[in-house]
Structure 1
């Protein structure tokens, strides 16, 4: 039995006023609390975001008409159902999603996958969001007389990243308690910005060159990929839901998570698409975020910058929090709080590099498109596994990392899981279209980007097919092995005798 156990005998702290001491350890029944609807505010706060304005503007700059952009935005945000679906695994297993995915990829294979989905995706999104607040904070500092183009963004980045890591250190209790209030405050400010910006919208806007045929589908599909990368990146949704009582209805968890992310995402991305129709070329040269600041009264500009910074802290605080558990799940001998600090330092370094080498719009569009190579297949496989297992995950087996354990599979690797994520990633890349890379399928189709649907469908079908073969049979723990596991886990269970982690999910 691994030295990790599904629950530890020590008492863990989960309160908004104290640092959260639990990492990937299982949440016992006595510590379960909250309601599914609490998740709505948790997911709304990160998605009332200036990046929605930026991405919405991109839809128009791709050459789409307003109604076409709105249709693409709504369609892409329907993918929020996937973070909602995989979130139900959190209460079922009572542990982090980065541990639950051992059932998908095997004990060793999972370490490789989490290194990408838990580190690569997280580091990119940390940098993207810190980058947005850095540019806008620097613009505000310039208006106040501090116009240094390097020191301004750097100073804002360092302050915001420090506060973000502090949120991650306090963890789940603070996130659940504060994010609903943060959502309301952000909503008020962003609605005020919308009210002042909408009068500049060109409601009769028509694209300079109306797109038809293949060029139109190329713009639509590229826009869809950029938008889809946001919901598909939230493979950490089980981490936020894991404290909910086991009997919480899965449908309520799915609805609260999906609607919390989708509703503000749709609304403010559409607003971004509308705003850009009334902006001129010179206004856009400094970026959509600076152009929006120029449309606002003097008193509202600083409030928007403050809102952007608070939103960034909310999103990156949650990302850093879940990534700290990802580092634990790959076997690094580190507690969750030091892990959060390490991840914060890495994200800060990447942000500082981007601050001095690129602009926000280019960084957002390029990175979001490339992320789907990893996030799309991983999300599809996780969702497929939940359906196949009927959301039944045994916490004791998930923490059994030795040869012969239930999730050891073939030499520590799950052939269905690893094959499907690799094949799905290749299929995604083959259909991807970016300024840096265009896959052969996309190029043959005239730069039409079908990377998200093709990658997710291929991953799900390969995983489903291989799971029906001998390679995919979930090995039952042999009787002698089961006795060893139960005996080794006994000290942990003594602290929480009512732990239902081995019971089927409701």
Structure 2
């Protein structure tokens, strides 16, 4: 079984404008009908039109399953714990989740290019520049999100182990984490077919369980809740901005939406691709984050696992914990799947399966650290606010590129890495994209306002965290301005 591609195979593929497919090493490697038990044959290579299939509506369940989420409950509760009233928290939840529109918009490039988002972004940063950007925005952040979601599920799983009489110890905690991680990695290894087939039933099952949980929560809600000390003036605006950053960080992190749409026929309507992606992610995110905020009006959500299990019948607790684990597997399955493809795009000549295993090991190690060494809730709020320094500008550049190119991408050209190729630009770097990321990231960092780090810009406006609007606005403007310059040659080889 060939795990590493030979130099001659990879070089030949590059010369022809099509990268080596990095097909599944445990199968024949030959493309065939996708099933939940067949290893995906394709990696980052171009999906031929004859192998495209499906309808845009299938994207609804693909995005709904990971967003019927325990972590959404935690984030919603965190908004109230920050001092917001219930009404204020609900407004933040709706507005922050509108950023799923960006995730949905960039998904339309998948059917157009027939390849992954991590390859499409070569148009924005150049062949070499893209590798640098992907290491940070596509791979390390993916590992951090794996750890964050695994941590949420592991907290619930470890608590369930204690209910069954197991003494909670580092060994038990580590075992729970490794088992959850292994299930996730298995799903990501099987790839697109397994995700497409399994997420429909999963989204239905998870919705039913979380509706029951929501009923327990809503039955105890304090609808007249007001924070002990009402926030006013600068403190209120700072809390609103910080909460918005936390909620919006989730959709801004999903630059992998083209990966999940790339198997759709190129003739699929862009509005349908974007619409079903948006609805699948937005609706459950709003509903269950709002339920989390409501829970904090009557429960001590500083320990969400203990608080939620305390209002459930004993027989339902294991059902809830299993649902939390399944949600985490579905959420991280998408992340690990795309992170494996990203690792291939960076240039490691390994199969998609081994790329998934590498990201899985790194994410597991980070999870072990966050559970055994660090505080979970601190991990959640700090990470979600800080990652927007990078994910916001990256999303803005992607959106602007699609607008400027009118979503015209040639997947085979994007896979051509030869010097002088259409996306080689200036020694392998597209300075429009690189400068937009750097300046956008600096603008975002200046306006970060967290307990971990407060930028001078945020200090100047009373601690108001404006990292998302600042970073995205600057990145989009710089990319548009520099990209339009004839010297930049942004559309050389793939014109709009």
Provide the TM-score with structure 2 as the length reference. 0.93
Q: Which residue among 258, 262, 266 is the counterpart of 2:278?
A: 258
Q: Distance in 1 between matches of 2:169 and 2:222?
A: 32
Aligned to 2:325: 309
Q: Distance in 1 between matches of 2:367 and 2:120?
A: 30
Aligned to 2:43: 23
Q: Measured at CA, do residues 307 and 175 of structure 1 come closer, stay the same or move farther in structure 2, by a change above 3 Å? A: same
Q: Measured at CA, do residues 445 and 474 of structure 1 come closer, stay the same or move farther in structure 2, by a change above 3 Å? A: closer
Aligned-CA RMSD value: 1.6
Aligned to 1:376: 392
Tell me if 1:42 matches 2:51: no
Shift of 1:395: 1.8
SS at match of 1:472: coil
Shift of 1:391: 0.5
Tell me if 1:353 matches 2:369: yes
The answer to whether the 8 A contact 1:373-1:429 is kept is yes
Aligned to 2:26: none
The answer to whether the 8 A contact 2:142-2:336 is kept is yes
Q: Which residue among 445, 466, 471 is the counterpart of 1:455?
A: 471
The answer to whether the 8 A contact 2:103-2:278 is kept is yes
Tell me if 1:102 matches 2:113: no
The answer to whether the 8 A contact 1:138-1:149 is kept is no
Q: Distance in 2 between matches of 1:212 and 1:27?
A: 54
Aligned to 1:288: 304
Which range moves more in the overlay, 207-216 or 77-86?
Answer: 207-216
Matches within 5 A, 1:54-453: 54-279=74-299, 283-284=300-301, 287-453=303-469
The answer to whether the 8 A contact 1:424-1:458 is kept is yes
Q: Deviations over 1:109-147 (max 9, x none)?
A: 000011112211210110011101111001011111113
SS at match of 1:295: coil
Q: Deviations over 1:64-98 (max 9, x none)?
A: 11111100100000000111110011110100110
The answer to whether the 8 A contact 1:276-1:288 is kept is no
Q: Deviations over 1:326-381 (max 9, x none)?
A: 01111111010111111111111110111111232111101111110111000010
Aligned to 1:6: 18
The answer to whether the 8 A contact 1:416-1:462 is kept is yes
The answer to whether the 8 A contact 1:423-1:459 is kept is yes
SS at match of 2:374: coil
Q: Deviations over 1:441-464 (max 9, x none)?
A: 101111111111111111101100
Q: Distance in 2 between matches of 1:278 and 1:72?
A: 20
Q: Measured at CA, do residues 220 and 2 of structure 1 come closer, stay the same or move farther in structure 2, by a change above 3 Å? A: farther
Q: Distance in 2 between matches of 1:399 and 1:375?
A: 24
Q: Deviations over 1:259-286 (max 9, x none)?
A: 111100000111000111102xxx445x
Q: Distance in 1 between matches of 2:320 and 2:37?
A: 27
Aligned to 1:486: none
Q: Distance in 1 between matches of 2:62 and 2:133?
A: 26
Aligned to 1:480: none
Shift of 1:7: 6.5
Shift of 1:15: 2.8
The answer to whether the 8 A contact 2:216-2:312 is kept is yes
Q: Distance in 1 between matches of 2:170 and 2:219?
A: 34
Q: After TM superposition, which residue ranges in structure 1, 4 or more long, deviate above 4 angstroms?
A: 7-10
Q: Distance in 2 between matches of 1:38 and 1:270?
A: 26
Which range moves more in the overlay, 81-90 or 399-408?
Answer: 399-408
The answer to whether the 8 A contact 1:79-1:232 is kept is yes
The answer to whether the 8 A contact 1:214-1:446 is kept is yes
The answer to whether the 8 A contact 1:406-1:474 is kept is no
Gaps of 5+ in 1: 478-501
Question: Number of residues paired by the alignment?
Answer: 476
Q: Distance in 2 between matches of 1:37 and 1:372?
A: 29
Q: Distance in 2 between matches of 1:432 and 1:48?
A: 28
The answer to whether the 8 A contact 2:295-2:301 is kept is no
Q: Distance in 2 between matches of 1:471 and 1:69?
A: 47
